[in-house]
Structure 1
Amino acid sequence: MDAPLCLHTTTVRPSWTDYNDHLSEYAYLLVFGDSSDVFFRRMGVEERYRAQGHSLYTAETHLHHRREAYSGDPLLLTIQVLGLDDKRLHLFHTMHHSRSGDILATAEQLLLHVDTRARRVAPFPAPLLTRLTAVRDAHAHLDVPDGVGHVMAIPSHDATG
C-alpha cells in the first residue's frame, strides 16, 4: 500500500481561478474534497453505502496555502491517515504541482462516521473499520506532517513594544 496514498490527479480549471489568475480559495477545498471522495470510494464509502444510511461528515478542516497554482497547472494529491477510532478519521492531504513536485497546499481534516437516518455520529461498521485500520497501520511509520494540529492566532504583544 502506498504511504501516503496517491489516488487523485487533476488540472486547475480556468473556472477555479480568481481575479489574481490563481486557484481560488474555495477551489482548494473543492480539490481536497474530490481527493477525499476518491479515497472514500476506495474504502467502500460510495452510493450503496450511503443508501444504507451511513456516511462520513467533515467536522473540521485546516487549509494551509503554500504556493500559488494557476490555470492549467497539473495537480497530484496525496492522503495520509493520521488517526482513527471507532467513529472518527483524521486525514492529512497534500496538494503537489505534478511537474515541479512543489507543495502547493495542505489540508488537515477530522471526519465523523454518521448514521444518516438517526442524524448522529455512529461507530464504523467492522468491515470499513478494518480497511481504514489497514491504511492507518501502513501510514504509521510516516512522519507527522508539518502543520498538523496548528493553531491559528496572532501572538499578543505589549503595546509599548
Structure 2
Amino acid sequence: MPAASPATPLVDVRVQPGPFDLPAESARLSALPDVGAVVTFTGICRSDGGRLEALELEHYPGMAEEEIGRVAGEAAARWPIAGAIAVHRYGRIAAGEDIVLVATASAHRGAAFAAAEFLMDWMKTRAPFWKREIFKDGTVGPWVEARAADDAAADRWRPDTAAE
C-alpha cells in the first residue's frame, strides 16, 4: 500500500467478508502527517425491532472496489484530506455486526466530516451491492429496493445542487 504525502492522500478501499478493526483503521489515519481530525462512520446491521436475524449482502467483485475507489478519489480531490478508508463487508452479517466503515482524516474537522459524509452518501447509492433480509423465523426476504432518501442524500453533493 503506498504511503500518503500531502499531495497524494492515502486512499484505501476494501470489500471483504470478515470484520474490520475500527481502532486500527483510525490509528492508521491518525498517524498521517499534519492530521488534526479523524472522522469515522460505522454502519451496523440493525435487528429492526428484533425481527431480523441478519442481512445477506452481495456485490459485484472488482466493480464495487473500483466504484468506491473512484468516489474516494473524488472526495480527496474536493477536500484537503490526508486520507480516506472505506471498508464494506459482504456475505451474511448478523444483527449487531458492523457492515461498513468510512474514515477520513484532515488537518481540520470540516474537511474530514464533509469528505466522510460525501463518501458514505455516494457509496450507498453507487457501489454495486445488493442486500436482503433474513428474518428470525428463517424466511428470506426479497432483495431490498433502493431508497429515494439515499438518492436525495447523494444528489445534494452534485456540483449544480451542492452548497459547499
TM over 0.5: no
Higher relative contact order (CA 8 A, sep 6+): 2
TM-score by length of 2: 0.31
Q: In proportion to residue count, which structure has more helix? A: 2
Tell me which structure has the larger Cα radius of gyration.
1
TM-score by length of 1: 0.31
